Amino acid sequence: MTIDRRAERQDQVRAVLARDGLDALLVTHLPNIRYLTGYTGTAGLLLMRPGDAVLVTDFRYAVQAPLEVGSSAAVAVDQRNVWERLGRVIAASPASAIGIESATLTVRDAERLGALGRFKVVPTLDVVERLRATKAPEEVAAIQAAAALAQDALAELLPSVRPGETELDVSARLEGALRRRGSEWHPFQTIVASGPRAALPHARTSTRTIGRGDWLLIDFGAQVDGYCADLTRTVVVGARGDEKQRSVYELVRSAQLRAITNLSAGMTGREGDALARDAIAAGGYGEAFGHSLGHGLGLEVHEAPRLSPTADATLPLHAVVTVEPGIYLPGWGGVRLEDDVYLAPDGPRCLSDNRTELLELV
């Protein structure tokens, strides 16, 4: 039986309101609304107050919202203007200070809120995101299920990859396999980058034809119960890897293994990042690893915490993070390996399979 944690989560938000002297928090970031109420719609305003929670949405979700939200919040549906309805909800219990999610609320919508009454609009930062960084067991299980689904889809794809087809051909087959296995959607645009394009960390999948002996970097994900997995594998197509390919690959692989093995809750994101970065630098490719080591996973594919050279925050117990070192050499190609790791009380645990031996598709 799934544990309903919505009341507990809302109480944690209310504790922040009391601490910061706020009468309410307007939650507008949809993943946060889902986390607090279970609502999965694409439009909604959630007003969190000490004594209640009210979700304001529109006609499209008049049936869906009450079913998903249940007793976790009252639902107010407005067919004309959700902001006007929000104003009436606020007026029914006047407030002097209402917090907003400053990282996601637009200036225009902050102005709309301010025009609704005589109260102070107070920017807040990551009130709900900090809660989401620590995963409950069922959240970890959903991420692990998404990773397993993604791995199965990749296992179906790889034997069929051949020189002469395009990156888009490969991406289409992978995305079809993901959906057939039950992925609710793609957490981000699938990256399939071949040959020298593998040196682009966030390449857009293109019509480039894959050549014999090319690198093929595949960055993809799956979604189960709203939770995301994020994986990257790099393979050689149509030939055995040459000496340089094997050398660079093994350096990335050993750096990733070092990070996965030694990550722990309580270290800073900077310290976690250094586990792989120092190994790559020692191998002579420090300048070729220009992005952060990883990021949190959950209802969003990029969320707290971060593993980067500038991340001084402590990694919380029960966080789930990606570990994705890479080496990128313009004109030659690149290698990235990515797995999803749970920071458990007894140490790091890989939620994906971490099967990173070099695959040569010959």
Q: Please tell me the predicted confidence (pLDDT) of residue 319.
A: 98
How open is the CA angle 269-270-276, to the nearest 5 degrees?
Answer: 100
Do residues 201 and 318 share a domain? Answer: yes
Do residues 338 and 237 share a domain? Answer: yes
Q: Please tell me the predicted confidence (pLDDT) of residue 186.
A: 94
Per the CB < 8 A criterion, the answer to whether 65 and 49 are in contact is no
243 domain residue, yes or no: yes
214-248 pLDDT per residue, tens: 999 999 999 999 999 999 999 999 999 999 999 99
> Where among 81, 105, 132 does a domain terminate?
132
> Where among 132, 164, 194 does a domain terminate?
132
Do residues 259 and 336 share a domain? Answer: yes
304 domain residue, yes or no: yes
Q: Please tell me the predicted confidence (pLDDT) of residue 162.
A: 97
Q: Please tell me the predicted confidence (pLDDT) of residue 29.
A: 98
Instruction: List the beta bridge partners of residue 222.
Output: 229
18 domain residue, yes or no: yes
Q: Please tell me the predicted confidence (pLDDT) of residue 307.
A: 98
Do residues 165 and 75 share a domain? Answer: no
Total domains present in the chain? 2
Beta strand 120-124 pairing with 339-344: unpaired
306 domain residue, yes or no: yes
In terms of phi and psi (left: phi > 0; alpha: psi -120 to 50; beta: otherwise), the region of 313 is: beta
315 domain residue, yes or no: yes
Per the CB < 8 A criterion, the answer to whether 154 and 354 are in contact is no
Instruction: State the pTM of this model.
Output: 0.96
User: 167-180 and 137-157 are packed helices; what angle lies between their axes, rounded to 10 degrees?
Assistant: 130
Instruction: List the beta bridge partners of residue 82.
Output: none
CATH code of 148's domain: 3.90.230.10
Do residues 128 and 155 share a domain? Answer: no
Q: Please tell me the predicted confidence (pLDDT) of residue 354.
A: 96
Do residues 141 and 100 share a domain? Answer: no
Do residues 225 and 112 share a domain? Answer: no
Ranges of residues in the chain with a pLDDT under 50 are none
Do residues 101 and 248 share a domain? Answer: no
Burial 264-276 (b: 16+ CB within 10 A, else e): bbebebbbbbbbb
CATH code of 55's domain: 3.40.350.10
Q: Please tell me the predicted confidence (pLDDT) of residue 2.
A: 78
> Where among 105, 132, 159 does a domain terminate?
132
Do residues 167 and 306 share a domain? Answer: yes
Q: Using CA atoms, how far apart are residues 304 and 133, in angstroms rounded to an integer?
A: 5
206 domain residue, yes or no: yes
Which domain range does residue 83 map to? Answer: 6-132
1 domain residue, yes or no: no
SS3 state at 140: helix
Do residues 230 and 272 share a domain? Answer: yes
Do residues 170 and 275 share a domain? Answer: yes
Do residues 122 and 152 share a domain? Answer: no
Q: Please tell me the predicted confidence (pLDDT) of residue 1.
A: 62
